[in-house]
Amino acid sequence: MDTSEDPLLPQVHGPIPRDRFHMVYLIFYLLGLGSLAPWNFFITASEYFKYKLRNTTQLDDEYLDPNFETELQAMFESYLVVANTVPNLAFNFITALIIQRVCLKTRMIFSLVLIILMFMVTVSLVEMDTDTWQTTFFSITLVTAVLISSGGSILGASLFGLASLFPSQYVQATMTGQAMGGIFAAVANLVTLAIGSHVIDSGLVFFMFAVFMAVLTLVGYGCLYCLSYSKYHILEIGNTISVDVNSHGDDIGFVVPDHGCSYYSHIFRKIWKEGISVCLVFLVTLSCFPAIASSIVSVVKIPTPWSEKYFSALVCFLLFNCGDWSGRSVAGSIHWPRYGQSSLLLMFSVLRVVFIPLLMFCNVQPRTSHIWFNSDIYPVVFILLLGLTNGYFGTLAMMYGPRRVSADKAESTGAMMSSFLTTGLVSGSLIAILLMKSL
């Protein structure tokens, strides 16, 4: 792995320490994993929430039967989307604006502690009998989802700002780690399907793992202040994180530099192509995944474990996340379009819109329109390519953006790129709702 410095990073305070045994790279991989794994496990536990909100007058094993669906079950997923997307987008922009005013440690520790506390609340509710107070449980769950999403948004924007202080492969490590979080959740879902564990037990495992990952992420972040290579980039490169450094190398609380609209508009003019590229990449992806992709069913007419039990879990979730992870990993060594070819990267991001009609005309059910791709091989190929291109082009854009500005603006640029990414996620989620209604 090449750990050479980006040309825009100033050479100060003598020789640059080395990333011994790639420990800092691995920590950023862990931080990326920990930033998304908790929310991935939250949404993977959808069957647990449907069980908690079931019609209690029916048999327990009928909680997924649409004939007995309760109003709370019907509302839950749409409310959960709002509880995720609105605070996610809002706090990404807020973090980008306050990144020069609130120190890095405060943002990182606050967000992780908030996530840990909210998941502990969620864990405490798993074994409780909530059948007589389902509406209260519904409300508590949505409040915790809002707070988890808010904390995750602050964490994600701060993490990309932090990674932008390092050479670009550390942004790639963060992106790749995030994709691994999706793979973990998909594999856990497959395991619970295979062993047939009770939905309450599955929910407990998911949420306990989410707490474990958040705690591990907090420990990993703390380790960055113990390694000379990461300490150099965080504390010694000019004023890149805009905090004072005392004689012991610790950042001092809050700093309020004079950064107005001109500061952010200057960054925007430098990175707008990379920003729009990553926005479009994730807009197209979220337009297709998971809403459309998870609605594709096998064309096999004879009921089999493949067609009824494993098709969606394997083809939609695991295959996409593996492709996404592979694309992000490849972006660490293969850079094409190259840095400086922003227009070409933007063009490829626009061309990915072809995935929307390709997946819509697979065997998406229910539907009233004609199916063009009436074979299981088509969704396999399309979803794999969707994941690969999402990971590859999204990671390139996130790596190139911070390199276009000077080191003193790198952290703000990383947070701004995170805001572009989140804008794509939210826009794609809204488009997916319209596309599903058009089928």
For residue 64, what pLDDT is reported?
72
Query: Is residue 241 pLDDT above 70, yes or no?
Result: no
Least confident of 260-269, 350-359, 394-403: 260-269
Domains of the chain, each with CATH number or no CATH: 16-257 (1.20.1250), 259-439 (1.20.1250)
For residue 237, what pLDDT is reported?
55
Cα–Cα distance, 286 to 269 (Å, whole number) = 26
Least confident of 151-155, 247-251, 394-398: 247-251
pLDDT confidence tier of residue 260, bands split at 50, 70 and 90: low
- Please write the tens of the pLDDT for every residue from 330-376: 999 999 999 999 999 999 999 999 999 999 999 988 777 788 998 99
Give me the mean pLDDT over the 68-94 stretch.
Answer: 88
Cα–Cα distance, 428 to 288 (Å, whole number) = 8
pLDDT confidence tier of residue 406, bands split at 50, 70 and 90: confident
pLDDT confidence tier of residue 437, bands split at 50, 70 and 90: confident
Cα–Cα distance, 383 to 380 (Å, whole number) = 6
Closest by CA to 204, choosing from 310, 134, 119, 132, is 119
pLDDT confidence tier of residue 247, bands split at 50, 70 and 90: very low
- Please write the tens of the pLDDT for every residue from 116-132: 999 999 999 999 999 99
- Please write the tens of the pLDDT for every residue from 367-394: 777 889 989 999 999 999 999 999 999 9
Cα–Cα distance, 23 to 33 (Å, whole number) = 15
Give me the mean pLDDT over the 207-214 stretch.
Answer: 93
Q: From the DSSP assignment, how many helices (H) and strands (E) are in the chain? A: 17, 0
Closest by CA to 309, choosing from 148, 394, 233, 196, is 196
Burial class (CB in 10 A: 0-12, 13-18, 19+), 261: exposed
Give me the mean pLDDT over the 312-327 stretch.
Answer: 90
Tokens 């707008």 sit on residue: 272
Q: What DSSP element (H or E) covers 169?
A: helix 169-195
For residue 197, what pLDDT is reported?
77
Encoded tokens for 283: 């807009």
SS3 assignment, position 264 = helix
Q: CB–CB of 9/403 below 8 Å?
A: no
Give the global pTM: 0.85
SS3 assignment, position 102 = strand
Q: Which residues contact 334 (CB under 8 A, 6 or more apart)?
A: none
Q: CB–CB of 126/141 below 8 Å?
A: no
Give me the mean pLDDT over the 158-162 stretch.
Answer: 94
